[in-house]
């Protein structure tokens, strides 16, 4: 690209003639001069563009700010830069390409919500898209051209059938039953709360997607799928080490995997045919005609869906729903342990409205304002998608407060900074549900009716937002009603402290393992949990089923998948 700028065809021909006559050392010297001129010209381009864009640290030639990125939790660094430059938008260069980070709720709303028609596309993503989930995946799709926008709308419409705001109410019964099973499991094995949450979240989306529940926390499909989601989350955080360094040097992605250990096995599209196999298997089984995968196969010819698209649509529902919802519930437990004073008003409200002889249900929500505020604070305090999911990209040059945001630029919302801004959330690290109660002294104006930006923005907002909010509310309400969730006590009476900042480093972050105590609040409540949990298991019996597939062995068994997608080794 640089040679096209520097040399026309005639000049290039003259240069080739000179190089043929020159000695090897003279040719090398000429090449180095040309390369140096190319670097200088490109750096001048970067600096000129930088002068028009939001402020940020001075980029270096070729590598930009890549090697300034911190090893862990770069969103904290972006927040610090925003404060340093006293600007809600900052520009950080990943190689020769700028990324605009939005660190303020009002700016995020203005750009990504109100200007959604411009900011609904995705930029080029080497690691996550080209080498990972693929560009035909709804999450990664470009919408730069009319044809691309039309294809994206097809996928979005199909996903709305499964988890759109008009569809999710029909899932309340199964979410209610599955959360009752969680409460029952916590009675017998409270120390395995993480496994119970993962089983619950995976089972809900498995019923919606495939018509079968996940009965046991030992089911390999839970651990395998969540492990893949964690890997994907780790791969989508800006960094200065491989494989994310390929975003700085995209040409490194062209090397074959056999001689490119820095690719970490990417490029084989590990999970796609596995999810297609799950979908095809579920479609062939009788019953549960409202399962999402059966709808996809019904619409296959009408919408011209190919195998990869069926795999990605069903896989996105399965993978993302299981990881994010379970991580949110783990954060809920951490908040209960770290801020026990916030539980007392919840218990008082639940005892007054619900009582001990039944657990909360969805009809109680209007009468439980503090519990509703509690759930909102869980979603705000330590949001799972800490950098707002995948980056947006404007489909045309845009100007915001005098700053240029060029077409195709990575534009990312820093959810951490947005949710920890003292202006909207005083003392932001303190877990305080009352900040979501109207009229409370800690309540502040915030764009949008929800009061948080956990699920993204505009036309790229998380498709499963309403489903996740619905499931989180009923489960949190039930666990607050049923249990004392406290710091663990050792045999000598000392307390095992928890660290509210000890989170993973991925795009979807969750607390690292910690000990806690989970006990029923009363004997009456224990009996209610047992009764309702057993009834829920009976109600869920209709979704019993098994799959013959395991991700860990699928590619060894399926020769066709190996031929198409590689051996699946990381």
Peptide bond into 208 cis (omega under 30): no
Q: What Cα–Cα distance (Å) separates residue 115 from each residue in 98, 165, 398, 453? A: 20, 22, 10, 16
- Evaluate whether residue 15 is within a structural domain: no
DSSP 3-state of 455: coil
In a domain, 107, yes or no: yes
Which backbone phi and psi does 252 adopt, to 5 degrees?
-65, -20
483-487 and 403-405 as β-strands: parallel, antiparallel, unpaired?
unpaired
Question: In residues, how long is the chain?
Answer: 570
Give, for all 570 residues of the chain, the pLDDT tens digit: 444 444 466 666 666 666 566 677 776 777 788 888 889 999 999 999 999 999 999 999 999 999 999 989 999 999 999 999 999 999 999 999 999 999 999 999 999 999 999 999 999 999 988 988 888 899 999 999 999 999 999 999 999 999 998 899 999 999 999 999 999 999 999 999 999 999 999 999 999 999 999 999 888 788 787 777 777 777 778 888 888 999 999 999 999 988 899 888 787 655 458 889 999 999 999 999 999 999 999 999 999 999 999 999 998 887 777 889 999 999 999 999 999 999 999 999 999 999 999 999 999 999 999 999 999 999 999 999 999 889 999 999 999 999 999 999 999 999 999 999 999 999 999 999 999 999 999 899 999 999 999 999 999 999 999 999 999 999 999 999 999 999 999 999 999 999 999 999 988 899 999 999 999 999 999 999 999 999 999 999 999 998 888 877 775 655 443 333 333 333
Query: What pLDDT score was predicted for residue 17?
Result: 65
DSSP labels for 527-562? HHHHHHHHHHHHHGGGG----S--HHHHHHH-HHHH
- First-to-last alpha carbon distance for the chain, in angstroms, is 33
Residue 35 is assigned to a structural domain of this protein:
no
What local confidence, expressed as pLDDT, does residue 565 receive?
33
570 in any annotated domain: no
Domain containing residue 396: CATH number: 1.10.630.10
Domain-embedded: residue 30 = no
Q: Give domain status of residue 216, yes or no.
A: yes
Query: In 3D, which of 32, 31, 30, 97 has the Cα closest to residue 62?
Result: 97
**Spatial distance between the Cα atoms of 229 and 316, rounded to a whole number of angstroms:** 10
Q: What are phi and psi of 99, to 5 degrees?
A: -120, 130
Token pair of 125, please?
């993503």
Q: Is residue 45 part of a domain?
A: no
| Domain interval for residue 553 | 53-565
d(CA 161, CA 250): 37
- The pLDDT, as a whole number, for residue 18 is 62
pTM value > 0.75: yes
Question: Would you state the structure tokens that stand for residue 108, as one six-digit string?
Answer: 């995020």
Give domain status of residue 285, yes or no: yes
Q: Which of 265, 389, 380 is nearest to 316 (CA)?
A: 389
Q: Could you give the number of structural domains in the chain?
A: 1
| Residue 8, φ and ψ in degrees, nearest 5 | -85, 180
Q: Alpha helices of 168-306 — where are they, by DSSP H?
A: 172-188, 193-210, 220-235, 272-284, 292-298, 300-303
**φ, ψ of residue 206 in degrees (nearest 5):** -70, -40
């Amino acid at each position: 690209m640089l040679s096209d700028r520097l040399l026309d065809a005639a000049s290039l021909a003259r240069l080739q003639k000179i190089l043929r006559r020159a000695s090897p050392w003279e040719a090398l010297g000429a090449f180095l001069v040309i390369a140096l001129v190319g670097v200088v010209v490109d750096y001048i381009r970067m600096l000129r563009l930088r002068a028009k864009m939001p402020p940020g640290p001075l980029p270096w030639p070729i590598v930009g700010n890549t090697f300034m990125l911190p090893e862990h939790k770069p969103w904290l660094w972006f927040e610090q830069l925003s404060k340093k430059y006293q600007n809600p938008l900052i520009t950080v260069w990943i190689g020769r390409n700028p990324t605009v980070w939005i660190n303020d709720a009002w700016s995020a709303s203005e750009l990504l919500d109100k200007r959604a028609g411009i900011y609904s596309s995705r930029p080029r993503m080497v690691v996550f898209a080209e080498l990972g989930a693929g560009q035909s995946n709804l999450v990664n799709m470009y919408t730069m051209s009319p044809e691309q926008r039309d294809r994206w709308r097809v996928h979005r419409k199909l996903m709305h059938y499964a988890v759109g705001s008009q569809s999710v109410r029909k899932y309340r019964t199964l979410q209610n039953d599955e959360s009752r099973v969680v409460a029952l499991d916590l009675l017998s094995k409270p120390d395995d709360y993480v496994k119970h949450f993962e089983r619950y979240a995976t089972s809900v989306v498995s019923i919606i997607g495939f018509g079968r529940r996940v009965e046991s926390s030992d089911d390999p499909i839970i651990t395998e799928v969540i492990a893949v989601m964690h890997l994907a989350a780790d791969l989508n955080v800006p960094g200065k080490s491989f494989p994310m360094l390929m975003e700085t040097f995209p040409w490194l992605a062209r090397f074959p995997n056999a001689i490119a250990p820095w690719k970490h096995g990417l490029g084989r599209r590990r999970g796609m045919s596995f999810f297609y196999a799950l979908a095809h298997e579920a479609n062939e089984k009788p019953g549960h005609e409202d399962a999402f995968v059966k709808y996809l196969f019904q619409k296959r010819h009408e919408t011209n869906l190919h195998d990869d698209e069926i795999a990605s649509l069903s896989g996105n529902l399965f993978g993302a729903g299981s990881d994010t919802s379970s991580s949110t519930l783990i954060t809920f437990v951490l908040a209960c342990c770290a801020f026990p004073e916030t539980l007392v008003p919840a218990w008082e409200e639940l005892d007054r409205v619900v009582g001990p002889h039944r657990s909360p249900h969805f009809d109680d929500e209007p009468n439980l304002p503090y519990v509703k505020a509690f759930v909102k604070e869980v979603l705000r305090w330590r949001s799972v998608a800490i950098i707002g999911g995948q980056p947006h990209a404007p489909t045309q040059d845009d100007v915001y407060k005098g700053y240029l945001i060029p077409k195709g630029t990575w534009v990312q919302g820093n959810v951490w900074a947005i949710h920890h801004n003292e202006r909207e959330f005083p003392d932001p690290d303190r877990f305080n549900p009352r900040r979501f109660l109207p009229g409370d002294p800690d309540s502040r104006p915030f764009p949008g009716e929800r009061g948080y930006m956990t699920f993204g923005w505009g036309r790229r907002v998380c498709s499963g937002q309403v489903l996740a909010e619905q499931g989180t509310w009923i489960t949190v309400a039930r666990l607050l009603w049923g249990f004392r969730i406290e710091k663990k006590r050792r045999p000598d009476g000392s307390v095992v402290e928890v660290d509210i900042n000890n989170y993973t480093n991925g795009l979807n972050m969750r607390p690292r393992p910690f000990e806690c105590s989970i006990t029923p609040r009363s004997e009456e409540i224990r009996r209610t949990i047992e009764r309702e949990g057993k009834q829920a298991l009976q109600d869920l019996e209709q979704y019993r089923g098994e799959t013959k597939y395991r991700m860990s062995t699928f590619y060894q068994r399926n020769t066709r998948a190996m031929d198409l997608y590689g051996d699946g080794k990381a």
